[in-house]
Amino acid sequence: TKTVTDVICPFCGTLCDDLEVVVSDDGKELLEVYNACAIGAEKFLHSQAKERITRPRMRQEDGSWKEISYDEAVEYTARMLTDAKKPLMYGWSSTNCEAQSIGSEIGELVGAVMDNTATVCHGTSLIAVQDIGIPSCTLGEVKNRADRILFWGCNPAHAHPRHMSRYSIFPRGFFTGKGHTGRKVIVIDPRPTDTARMADVHLQVEQGRDYELLNALRVAFKGEQLPDVVAGIPKEQIYEAAETLKSGRFAIIFFGMGVTQSLGKNHNIDEAIAVTRDLNEYTKAAIMPMRGHYNVTGSGQVWGWQFGFPYAVDLSRGFARYNPGETTSNDLLRRDEVDAVFVLGSDPGAHFPFSSVKKIYDRPSVVIDPHETPTTEVCKVHVPVAFVGVEVGGCAYRMDNVPIETRKVIEPPEGVMTDEEFLDRVLERVREIKSE
């Protein structure tokens, strides 16, 4: 056997870069994964699953699958996209930037709506950043400098398990040599999560009242009067939390879907960014979204360069339009505005409301995914591909917008295409059909 070191984990936005993977001498079998958390290790090990699908399949009239060739899958996909008036090309968060870039080219040619998983996650954060900017930093700075850590509406103990040991609560950095003993951790969450249990202070905000509490923090920074209770939290606790944040040398606010997708949405994030800005009058402070999929950040980056917008990009009029609420996947599906669905690197079958999933089921659809997922169950064609970050490398962006080159550690099963190879073929075929 041989050990591949400095392997990048292609699961969550933490993109841990210190994994060690033991593979067989011929590079075909993956045997052990070290340093990863349970979900990260599972991603690597799952590539070895005996029941893994390795050939494209097409749904038959009776609901069963029929194996088809990659050529047939390319033809179906290219025809579906060119025949449609306004196809939706969704996902893009669990693949590399190279594939995202080819996907954008196809989207432009066929006049698609390009949307990624931010649409049901941190899209609201992106709107807030466009509204008022963002004072942010890298995870390296957090590790080396931050002594006040605030987790708002996120639960890294479960969703980003090594975030706390590598970057936020526990590591010893250049100016943070005492590790967790030199840091104060505040968690704001309606639920008593495992992250909250580790915190010095847990403010159990009432569900959906984050905006008020954020506002109250700004009042407390200035030492002005607060009502006795705000969002279920007694004012003494709010003054204390404000003082804790102000008295640090470097404060970081990490926030998750508890604030981005609850009442107030992007306005919550406007206010959280304003809290960070205010805090900079007393100390150094930064704020960062806890991005979920390992390369959802990269998808926003690639489309940012290419179209000027990070998600919900409607190319159907021949130029890029962006209007979340109108050009976002669920709104389009529910209003019957898209007539074909292409999914890559995401699982809307598991994450979209049932009413949207049903619309996917009713339309011509293709899903590109190494796994069998709830989405493969509702799509007409399923194209299995190699695992990015395991069987093929490529660029991914960590949650702090740092690009990291993922590594190939083993060979994909024989004949299985990569996302890039498949998209390249579809692009070529779309060009041919368009020129006919």
Q: Are 13 and 290 in contact (CB under 8 A)?
A: yes
3-state secondary structure of 247: coil
Cβ distance to ligand SF4 smaller for residue 12 or 23: 12
162 near ligand SF4 (CB under 6 A): yes
Q: How far is CA 366 from the centre of its chain?
A: 21
Q: List, in order, residues 6 or more apart from 192 with CB less than 8 Å away.
A: 202, 204
Q: How far is the CB of 407 from ligand SF4 (least distance, A)?
A: 13
Cβ distance to ligand SF4 smaller for residue 33 or 417: 33
298 near ligand SF4 (CB under 6 A): no
Burial class (CB in 10 A: 0-12, 13-18, 19+), 197: exposed
Identify the CA nearest to 44 among candidates 20, 66, 26: 20
Euclidean distance between CA atoms 148 and 244, whole angstroms: 8
- Record the tokens describing residue 310, joined without a space: 């990070």
Which of 15, 127, 343, 357 binds ligand SF4 (CB under 6 A)? It is 15
Stretch that binds ligand SF4, among 7-15, 193-201, 354-362, 402-410 (CB under 6 A): 7-15
Q: How far is the CB of 39 from ligand SF4 (least distance, A)?
A: 5
Sheet holding 2-7, edge to edge: 2-7, 19-23, 30-34
Euclidean distance between CA atoms 111 and 105, whole angstroms: 10
Cβ distance to ligand SF4 smaller for residue 14 or 375: 14
Q: How far is CA 370 from the centre of its chain?
A: 18
Q: How far is the CB of 8 from ligand SF4 (least distance, A)?
A: 8
Which of 22, 31, 39, 201 binds ligand SF4 (CB under 6 A)? It is 39
Could you tell me how many residues of this chain bind ligand SF4 (CB under 6 A)? 14
Q: How far is the CB of 270 from ligand SF4 (least distance, A)?
A: 28
Cβ distance to ligand SF4 smaller for residue 94 or 301: 94
160 near ligand SF4 (CB under 6 A): yes
Cβ distance to ligand SF4 smaller for residue 87 or 345: 345
Identify the CA nearest to 297 among candidates 89, 111, 40, 121: 121
37 near ligand SF4 (CB under 6 A): yes
Q: How far is the CB of 11 from ligand SF4 (least distance, A)?
A: 4
E strand or H helix at 429, and its extent?
helix 419-435
Site of interaction with ligand SF4 (CB under 6 A): 9, 11-12, 14-16, 36-37, 39-40, 160-163
